[in-house]
Amino acid sequence: MNGHADIAVIGAGHNSLVAATLLAKSGKRVVVLEQGDRIGGTACTDEIAPGFRVSGLFATADRLHPDVVSELGLTSYGLRFERAGGTLLLRPGEAPLHLPEGGAAAAIDTLSSRDGAAYREFERLLGAIGRAIEPILSQPLPPIETSGIGSILDLLMMGWRLRRLGKRDMPEALRLLPMALRDVTEERFENERLRAAIASSGLQASWLGPWSPGGAFGLLYHRPAWRAGLFDSPTHVHGGLGALAEALGKAATTAGVEIRTGARVQRIRVADEGVAGVMLESGTELPAHQVLSGVDPRTTLLELLEPGWLEPDIVSAVDNIRMRGTVSVVRLALATLPAFGASDEASLAGRIQIGPTLEYLERAFDPAKYGELPAHPSLEITIPSLTDESLAPAGKHVMHVWVQYTPFALREGTWESERQRLGDTVVSTIEEYAPGFSAAIEQVDVLTPADIQARWSITGGHPYHGEMAMDQVLYLRPVPGWYDYRTPVAGLYLCGPGCHPGGGITGLPGRNAARRALMDWKS
């Protein structure tokens, strides 16, 4: 590229690779600069013991948008998905409740016909809301400050989509958004496990408990229109999420993107109030007309951007983005498959939830408020080797455990000293539901919030680059006024999960940011 690029993309996470590929397809010269030695960011597969491979921060690609897969032709580069198992709900002293994909309502009927009927109605309502807001969550938001007929029509169409819910569903949708998940579930369902399972799906990576107002938005966010339902089977990538990164890398290089690893960006250069390029830690300067950053907003604007280009009020707003990590990941190599009291192996191939009641979830959240670890954490477990035998030696398995409510900032001690205790707590918690589990363990690997920050350069170790609370989503993400991926520096854009629509493996922030950058290029 002869030391010059039209567009430089900082970081090689999945959103950055999506953005870079779409920009290159439009004819731009694009370079991706990754500080590490491999691409993918949090979409990775690690070998935690000889022959045992498992995904990193995220276990699945449930929310990867189908348009991203098709537009980049990812299946032609070897991307394969595996789906099975539905959801298994556990509670001490009771038989596991298996909710198969497409058959959750019938399974709930066996507990309570009233809950079965209520669940069908709830799924219908969420589906209707999801279809109405899908364009809002998958596309760039239309401008608030309208100056032309096109912008006005965009806003009218957004309102029209919500109005199409009808006189019954539209008021219920508006009522649902600010509610606490405790209220949402208790007014509809009798069964405690069902209440907790629904609430858990809306609380992922949040600084909210089931008693917290606004939790219902998370339920809608984590159950978008392109997913089948609340209890559909997890979407595993064959080979782990690292295989997604490989496919994205192939798509990018085929489109003409230059990917440089071991290229840490030290500064985003600015001239005449517009971006001028980047300077690498090695001292190499790379001029560029536009720069897209997949790094979190605080790191991008307060650490990488040359000082002095942002007004003090903007610096304060960015510094106040809430990025308190609450998630750890425990990955295990297992000699045998844990039973969990399930009647068949197929029911273990999906999502296994430990968090049997709303009170259990709230008590798991309580210690995090004070910088402490929960004695009984909320766990979401997957065993990807049940659908992908390539991940473990024959007859053996890998397990991925998403541990909710482990605070980044500890009141006492450090994560280095508490790592072992967290791993032991997770193992002992699982042992309560699967006796003999600890004897099957060959290796335990713990990723704490501090590890997440250090490994992937994510401020606060927050998987979503910022909390998905009501005051940090849609037009308020990452800060009010920056919902269109632009920053106050002309030519500098955000393309990571810290911007709209938010976190998780979706590819949408990268896709939308690329569209915005191309629109500005043309103008």
Domain boundary (401, 423, 454) is at 454
The domain boundary residue, chosen from 414, 432, 454: 454
Q: Answer whether residue 290 is part of any domain.
A: yes
Is the residue at 80 inside a domain? no
What residues contact residue 451 under an 8 Å CB cut-off, 6+ apart?
415, 461
Q: Are residues 395 and 447 in the same domain?
A: yes
Residue 60 lies in a domain: no
What is the DSSP track for 423-484? HHHHHHHHHHHSTTTGGGEEEEEEE-HHHHHHHHT-GGG-TTSS---GGGSGGGSSSTT-TT
Judge whether 82 lies within some domain.
no
Q: What torsion, rounded to 10 degrees, do the Cα atoms 186, 191, 197, 203 define?
A: 20
Q: Are residues 433 and 479 in the same domain?
A: no
- Asked if 136 and 120 sit in the same domain, the reply is yes
Same-domain status, 444 and 342? yes
**Are residues 115 and 197 both part of a single domain?**
yes
Distant-in-sequence, close-in-space partners of 435: CB < 8 Å, separation ≥ 6: none
What CA–CA distance (Å, rounded) separates 18 from 294?
10
467 and 515 in a single domain? The answer is yes
Sign of CA dihedral 268, 270, 275, 276: negative
The pLDDT value recorded for residue 166 is 73
Based on the domain organization, do 482 and 412 belong to the same domain?
A: no
Identify whether residues 120 and 158 lie together within a single domain. Answer: yes
How many domains does the chain fold into? 3
CATH code of the domain containing 507: 3.50.50.60
**Please, what is the Cα angle at 199 between 194 and 205, to 5 degrees?**
140
- Whole-number pLDDT of residue 35: 96
Q: Residue 150 has what pLDDT?
A: 45
Whole-structure pTM value:
0.94
> Is the domain of 317 the same as that of 357?
no
CATH number of the domain bearing residue 427: 3.30.519
In a domain, 87, yes or no: no
User: In terms of residue numbers, what domain contains 27?
Assistant: 5-37+261-321+462-522
> Is there a domain that residue 59 lies in?
no
- How far the first Cα of the chain sits from its last, in Å, is 25
Q: Are residues 268 and 312 in the same domain?
A: yes
The three-state (H, E, C) secondary structure of 140-178, written as one string: CCCCCCCCCHHHHHHHHHHHHHHHCCHHHHHHHHHHHCC
Same domain, 408 and 479: no
Measure the CA–CA gap between 186 and 413, rounded to whole angstroms.
38
Q: What is the pLDDT along the chain (523 residues), one digit of tens a residue?
A: 456 789 999 999 999 999 999 999 999 999 999 999 999 999 999 999 999 999 999 999 999 999 999 999 999 999 999 998 899 999 888 889 999 988 999 999 998 999 999 999 999 998 888 888 888 888 888 877 644 444 444 444 455 566 677 778 888 888 888 899 999 999 999 999 999 999 998 999 999 999 999 888 888 888 776 776 788 889 999 999 999 999 999 999 999 999 999 999 999 999 987 999 999 999 999 999 999 999 999 999 999 998 889 999 999 999 999 999 999 999 999 999 998 887 678 889 999 999 999 999 999 999 999 999 999 999 999 999 999 999 999 999 999 999 999 999 999 989 999 999 999 999 999 999 999 999 999 999 999 999 999 999 999 999 999 999 888 988 889 998 899 999 999 999 999 999 999 999 999 999 999 999 999 998 7
Instruction: Tell me, yes or no, whether 429 lies in a domain.
Output: yes
For 344, the token pair is 């068949």
Element holding 338 (H helix, E strand): none
User: For residue 412, what are the contacts with CB-CB under 8 A and spacing of at least 6?
Assistant: 371, 372
Q: Which of 412, 438, 454 is the last residue of a domain?
A: 454
Whether residue 313 is found in the same domain as residue 334:
no
Whether residue 434 is contained in a domain is answered as: yes
Please give the DSSP secondary-structure letter assigned to residue 212: S
